[in-house]
Amino acid sequence: MKILVVGGGGREHALVWKLAQSPTVTDIIAAPGNAGIAELARCLPVAADDIKGLVRLASEERCDLTVIGPEIPLTMGIADRFADEGLAVFGPSKSAARLEGSKWFAKELMQRAGIPTARAWATASREEAISHVRELGAPVVIKADGLAAGKGVMIAASEDEAISAIDAVLTEGRFGAAGSHVLVEEYLEGEEASILAFTDGRRIAALAPSQDHKRALDGDRGPNTGGMGAYAPAPVVDKRMLADIERDVIMATVRTLAEEYDAEYRGVLYAGLMITDDGPKVLEFNCRFGDPETQVVLPLLDGDLAEIMMSVAVGELDPSSLGVTDQAAACVVMASGGYPGAYEKGKRIHGLEIAGSMEGVVVFHAGTADSKGATVTAGGRVLGVTGTGPALPDALDRAYAGVAAISFDGEHHRTDIAHRALENTEDPKTGGRDGA
């Protein structure tokens, strides 16, 4: 099987890494890829949003399957274009990808399906948005409706902060077209978790529950980022709760898309959840693998990823074809100095071979490039160092050992990944709960 993977970040490196383990895969092409992906695949300079170019590439290379990594091409309708050309593709249609492309569309769908979520209102009017803020009171969540690279969500501790956030979206245009409308949303208390599930539009199969760390600094302080690390399984979601989420959130969403919107969802569906005292409530949907969650859930996947993805693409998913190992995984993101603000590129990275040779450690490249034979920084989030082990503390020890072996000018990372799991568990050795 020849596979084309679209994208060039840490998520795509993890996908290529797992696909390369399949005995059915003979060749992997990445467009555009990165320095790490180039060790496993042929990287070709076709941009992830160049839909015409990607269709042509898949046709000329006679790819058996194309896997779409980022959200932008999915919301642009790349899966529809591939389907029109008779090309197998892993990723939802443009209609189904509205779940991520418009937060208000996702809210409307959840209301129709009876899926638990926070109260929210969408508007293009500054005055109306402010009136909703005063109705809810602070703290309150302000969101740009469209795609904003993970930075369009602002938690306001006061009404004044909320008004400033509304102005950033509607008046200042900080998020461009993504900010044509703003959502004013109820603030939920609890612990976050992420559930990713494969679906062919009729059946689903969930991966291990994970937890991301969005804030830039230890103790969940500092600005929001694209994600500074993750771990799985997240003990806040036990087996019983996961079954409820599969039925009441994932399956309900897939069914409602098909029945109410005539949109069949084929790909991976990501539900970002807040686990509240009243149970899990949906914060957001993504129409693709999360980053850095992918770097911890794929190492725990027991199954042939290539065969699973192909079965999803052709509508023949067999949930029994995959499982989750009893291991744990943790990923620590190494970021450029200044991220998520302005940062410099081109910093030489040292120690990659040492970290990559460590037992239970995999280094996923997120923002790297090759410069005259040396690997250099080329993004805000540069590397995701993932450790796996029999229990969460073991996985963390391995991940941080890998981080310690790597260096580049200005590098920073969080030192408290998985702190909630370690604080909340009754047995710090296992880092997990019973799950009964």
Kindly state the helix (H) or strand (E) to which residue 381 belongs, with its residue range: strand 381-389
Sheet holding 65-68, edge to edge: 42-43, 27-32, 2-7, 65-68, 89-90
Place of tokens 């991976």: 268
Residue 35, classed as helix, strand or coil, is coil
Listed as ranges, residues in the chain with pLDDT below 70 are: 150, 425-436
- Long-range pairs, 76-85, Cβ under 8 A, ≥24: 76/49, 76/51, 77/51, 78/6, 78/51, 78/54, 79/266, 79/267, 81/51, 81/52, 81/55, 82/55, 82/58, 85/55, 85/59
Chain centroid to CA 221: 21
Beta bridge mates, 147: none
> What is the structure's pLDDT at 432?
38
CB 392 within 8 A of CB 328: yes
Cβ proximity of 358 and 398 under 8 Å: yes
Domains of the chain: 2-93 (3.40.50.20), 119-186 (3.30.1490.20)
Terminus-to-terminus CA distance in the chain, angstroms? 40
| Per-residue pLDDT tens over the stretch 329-350 | 999 999 999 999 999 999 999 9
Q: Residue 292: is the preceding peptide bond cis (ω within 30°)?
A: yes
**pTM: predicted TM-score of the whole model, two decimal places:** 0.93
CA distances from 10 to 34, 273, 361 (A): 9, 22, 15
Q: Please, what is the average pLDDT of the chain?
A: 94
Tokens coding 215: 């804030």
Residue-level pLDDT at 177: 85
What are the tens digits of pLDDT across the range 64-103?
A: 999 999 999 999 999 999 999 999 999 999 999 999 999 9
pLDDT value at residue 425: 60
